[in-house]
């Protein structure tokens, strides 16, 4: 079904991606559980189109920064959205991908640092 915990876990992470940042299928799959489920992330994003809520799926690219999900977006919106957020796209590929990369576990690190700072 489209409302399983696995799918929701993917959506929760994708929703936390800051504007102007991108992440990878593998990073999301690794955070949820096991790094073998990279394909499932794409499957979940495919189903996210059917949801009423907004999922910034355009911020999810493959490991090399390639916009493999571009053909699943209507028209060229994926590239347009990324450019609007300050992410340059060239030949269906994110320019300076490593510079814009955002790892889901980075949220955990931020919270840990915050605790350290407040102590």
Q: Which of 72, 52, 71, 67 is nearest to 97 (CA)?
A: 67
Other Cβ atoms less than 10 A from the Cβ of 11: the count is: 19
Tokens of 99: 């510079």
Q: CA-CA distances (angstroms) from residue 8 to 5, 26, 32, 64, 117?
A: 5, 17, 10, 25, 31
User: Binder to DNA among 17, 22, 48, 94 (CB under 7 A)?
Assistant: 48
Among 6, 18, 81, 102, binds DNA (CB under 7 A): 6
Among positions 59-98, residues that touch DNA (CB under 7 A) are: 60, 62-64, 68-69, 71-73
CB of 44 vs DNA, minimal distance in Å: 8
Distance in Å, CB of 105 to DNA, minimum: 15
Q: Which two tokens stand for residue 104?
A: 């889901």
Residues 18-37 that bind DNA (CB under 7 A): 24-26, 34-37
Work out whether 41 is an interface residue with DNA (CB under 7 A). Answer: yes
Calculate the alpha carbon distances from 32 to 3, 11, 13, 66 in Å: 16, 11, 9, 22
CB nearer to DNA: give 71 or 119: 71
* Site of interaction with DNA (CB under 7 A): 1-2, 4, 6-7, 24-26, 34-43, 45-49, 57-58, 60, 62-64, 68-69, 71-73
């Amino acid at each position: 079904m489209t409302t399983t915990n696995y799918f929701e876990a993917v959506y929760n992470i994708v929703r936390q991606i800051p504007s102007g940042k991108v992440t990878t299928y593998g990073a999301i799959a690794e955070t949820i559980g096991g790094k073998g489920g990279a394909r499932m992330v794409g499957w979940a994003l495919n189903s996210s189109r059917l949801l009423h809520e907004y999922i910034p799926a355009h911020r999810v690219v493959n490991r090399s920064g390639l916009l493999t999900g571009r053909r699943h977006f209507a028209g060229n919106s994926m590239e347009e959205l990324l450019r609007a957020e300050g992410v340059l796209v060239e030949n269906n590929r994110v320019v300076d991908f490593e510079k814009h990369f955002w790892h889901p576990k980075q949220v955990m690190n931020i919270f840990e640092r915050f605790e350290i700072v407040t102590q």
